[in-house]
Amino acid sequence: MELLSSGTAYYLNGQNLYGLKSTPELGGTKEKKEVTNLLDTAHRYIAGLYKYDDLTFDFYYNSSTANPNVSAAQTAAAFRAARAVELSGASVQQKVEFPDGTYFTWSGQVATKIKKMDADGVMEFSIISIPNTPLVYSTDS
């Protein structure tokens, strides 16, 4: 049965950050390495190492006034927590968990940025994860 994305969570250093709006594609791509030699009549390739792009997670920049059912601590914590990790320069554990309990984990540094704003628009920010370990998919919950 198909799943809705509702219930997907992003954890930064063990903390589930509130306001997740969208996730990037997760997983890597092996780089293609050419191994053609002078006796070949066609190009030949082998798979190289996995390459992970920066992972950009988009969040709503929330306030407790706009979300009365959510605590002020939850809404303020997402950006502040990510910003604190960014300023520390630390590489931290990260996880994206899906509604079926499966998940990806990895470690890496993060950067934050407030997204472009328009008049009468919703404030958003991004957490950009720079993986320094493989992204590991797990089905154990």
Q: Which pLDDT tens digit goes with each residue over 96-130?
A: 999 999 999 999 999 999 999 999 888 899 999 99
Cα(124)–Cα(133) distance, integer angstroms: 27
Which structure tokens are listed for 88? 């520390």
At residue 73, the pLDDT reads 63
Q: Residue ranges per domain, the chain?
A: 9-22+53-138
pLDDT by residue (tens digit) across 19-75? 899 999 998 899 999 999 999 999 999 999 999 989 999 998 865 555 556 665 666
Instruction: For residue 77, give Cα distances in angstroms to 29, 61, 91.
Output: 33, 10, 19
User: What's the predicted TM-score (pTM) here?
Assistant: 0.83
With 0-12 CB in 10 A as exposed, 13-18 as middle and 19+ as buried, what is 87?
exposed
pLDDT band at 77 (very low <50, low <70, confident <90, very high): confident
Rounded Cα gap, residues 86 and 102, in angstroms = 27
In the numeric block, the tokens 């993986």 are attached to 131
